[in-house]
Amino acid sequence: MKKIILLFFLIIYSHGFSQVTISEVEKNKQFGLVWGLLKYHHPEISNGKYDWDLEYVNTSSSLDTIKNQDGMNAFLFRFISKFKTDKLKTKKLTTERLFVKNVDYDWIDETVFGKQLTKTLLEIKENSNKNNYYASTNKLAKMLSFDNEKGYQDFNYANKNHRLLLLYSFWNAIQYWNVNKYLMDHNWVSILHPMTELFINCNTKLEFEIAKSKLIAKLDDSHSYHLSDIVFDTLFKNKPYFSVKTISDSLLVTSIFNKSLAKKDGLELGDIITKVNTTDISTAIHEKIAPILSVSNKSFLNKWCNWLFYSQSDSINVAINKKNGSGKNQYIHLYEKYEVENPTYLWTERNDKWTLIKPDIAYINLDEITQKELKAVFKQIANNTKGLILDLRKNTKNIRESDLSDFLYPKNKEFIKVLFPMENYPSYGEYDGEAPLKLISNPFHSGKNNPDYYKGKVILLVNRRTQSKGEYIGMAIQQSPNCVTIGEQTAGSVMNIVSYRMPDKTEVYFTGLGGFYPNGDEVQRKGLKIDYNIKESTKNYDPELYIKEAIKIIEN
């Protein structure tokens, strides 16, 4: 009897739910989800047989007539039925390296879509007969490619369906192909409802471009910088005549590019700004910059602190602690244009490629040094120094990881594990994947048999500017036997960059592979492991602090 009553209530609930009025946002969101599932899972659609962007635009125009979930389910079922499903196949994916943390099809919910539509969606989801027209991987590098995303002809931001096409095109590409999706702050599916609402309600070109920036910012990836000209030229029209550095939630004035303008405001090198428009610095950065700029972590977000002074207004209120200890609130002027006049700097960065900081301690700036120069340096310092400081705070332009590991390792060894996307298997990844040409040259191993490797202490210097290739090389350096890493959290965007062309032909970038230490610890978002965190101070700022701390570690 209890089972009959329960079944009765379930039927009543299901019938009542299906008759509830469905919102414009929900209708479009559901169609965007189904359209994306078909794009990457249906045999013929994933083969590029249809103009899939055009299908979206033409079909979505009929959504306005739908009133409830029953009507929506019927609409979706008719849409799917236009495309043959007789070639669907099911093949279980088995591999010991299978990575499943990005798999998320929970949105296919029978309580929403009903039994018939849900069954069809699950059959498409389970289909193993997929093709790679829209997302493929390079055979020599396993890197993701979206080469057939050419943009939508005659894209018009003023057309709601065009804007939503852009949203769902990009959202589904990330949903099924971004191997680092599981590391985002927000569940990617959960952002689709508010983003749909945002894109529906764009009334101007500026609002549309801001919406795009907010969408891309949700990637939480320091590789995904995007800010269109109209956003920058409108919201960030006026600029400061100085630059600052974030230290302990304050801003240190490090450069002045026009002395006359600085004198007008009474601003000096070494001044400490503690508030902007009565808001503390950390809050101001998160409120103004974080919503529109994709970053992997707070450390890299702080790199963009100068943007706090980019504004539509021609002045900004700040709280300043002067070098003499006094404090005050005042307005600082901002300018659309100004001339660089007698620029001054709080300190001058080192530009020597290498030097003996002490007779028995060598310093190498990895920014500019070449492979040939590096070889000569190691030959000179191999037997007469007890410590080596490798400065990776400005990344490196001219060397590879092997140029260092050949001198730092006693033998060839693994320094990185890589997570690859799996072609024809949306959402799945291959963890600890093998490089296609590993028998010729394995990019995930480095070093060589070298009994004369450098045996002194190796100190690696990193900061928030250490990113991408710099982090990759840093991981290799860290696997040397005597390495200690000091500094601050790095950018957290190691590995290669993937490009995706949106329907309006905007190029968007994100990290295409996952990077892990040999023990499995993640580097994406977290950045390089730090053995000693450097705590800089705005008061009596010391630009040589990193190097002084490195010397202490070597000498102790």
Q: What is the DSSP string of 508-538?
A: EEEE-SEEE-TTS-B-TTT-S--SEE----S
Question: Where is 292: in which H helix or E strand?
Answer: none
- The answer to the question of residue 177 being in a domain is yes
- In this prediction, residue 51 has a pLDDT band, given cuts at 50, 70 and 90, of very high
Helix ranges restricted to H, 151-191: 160-177
Same domain? For 391 and 491 the reply is yes
- The answer to the question of residue 1 being in a domain is no
Quote the radius of gyration of the chain (alpha carbons, Å): 28
- In angstroms, the CA 206 to CA 357 distance is 52
Which range in 86-100, 400-414, 424-438 is most confidently predicted, on average pLDDT?
400-414
Q: Are 302 and 343 in contact (CB under 8 A)?
A: no
- In angstroms, the CA 148 to CA 141 distance is 18
Q: In the 8-state DSSP scheme, what is residue 341?
A: B
Residue found by looking up tokens 């100068």 in the block: 306
User: Given the DSSP bridges, would you call strands 483-487 and 497-501 parallel, antiparallel or unpaired?
Assistant: unpaired
- Which of 157, 183, 200 is the C-terminal boundary of a domain? 200
Domain count of the fold of the chain: 3
Residue 501: which CATH number? 3.90.226.10
Phi, psi of 343 (to 5 degrees): -60, 140
Q: Are 465 and 491 in contact (CB under 8 A)?
A: yes
Same domain? For 272 and 365 the reply is no
Q: Which residue has the higher pLDDT, 443 or 76?
A: 76
- The answer to the question of residue 222 being in a domain is no
Which distant-in-sequence residues (6+ apart) come within 8 Å of 16 by Cβ? none
Question: Where is 487: in which H helix or E strand?
Answer: strand 483-487
- The answer to the question of residue 100 being in a domain is yes
Q: Residue 169 sits in which domain range?
A: 19-200
Joined tokens for residue 152: 């939508």
- In angstroms, the CA 426 to CA 146 distance is 13
Same domain? For 419 and 551 the reply is yes
Instruction: Give SS3 for 118.
Output: helix
Residue 245: which CATH number? 2.30.42.10
- The answer to the question of residue 9 being in a domain is no
Same domain? For 35 and 136 the reply is yes
- Which of 345, 366, 398 is the C-terminal boundary of a domain? 345
Question: What percent of the chain is modeled with pLDDT above 90?
Answer: 88
Same domain? For 287 and 147 the reply is no
Task: Give tens-digit pLDDT for 496-517.
Answer: 999 999 999 999 999 999 999 9
- The answer to the question of residue 216 being in a domain is no
Same domain? For 340 and 374 the reply is no
Query: What does the pLDDT read at residue 112?
Result: 96
On the question of pLDDT at 551 being above 60, the answer is yes
Angle at 477 between CA 473 and CA 481, to 5 degrees: 160
Q: In the 8-state DSSP scheme, what is residue 541?
A: -
pTM, two decimals, is: 0.93
- In angstroms, the CA 370 to CA 366 distance is 8
Instruction: Give SS3 for 240.
Output: coil
- Which of 176, 200, 224 is the C-terminal boundary of a domain? 200
Same domain? For 193 and 270 the reply is no
Same domain? For 57 and 155 the reply is yes
Task: Give tens-digit pLDDT for 367-397.
Answer: 999 999 999 999 999 989 999 999 999 889 8
Same domain? For 148 and 241 the reply is no
Same domain? For 439 and 547 the reply is yes
- In angstroms, the CA 45 to CA 32 distance is 15
Query: What does the pLDDT read at residue 3?
Result: 46
Tell me what the pLDDT averaged over the chain comes to.
93
Which residue type, as a one-letter code, is found at position 493? S
- In this prediction, residue 9 has a pLDDT band, given cuts at 50, 70 and 90, of very low
- The answer to the question of residue 224 being in a domain is no
Same domain? For 273 and 251 the reply is yes
- In this prediction, residue 439 has a pLDDT band, given cuts at 50, 70 and 90, of low
- In angstroms, the CA 455 to CA 457 distance is 7
- The answer to the question of residue 211 being in a domain is no
Query: What does the pLDDT read at residue 7?
Result: 44
- In angstroms, the CA 205 to CA 302 distance is 29
Same domain? For 85 and 151 the reply is yes
Task: Give tens-digit pLDDT for 409-418.
Answer: 999 999 999 9
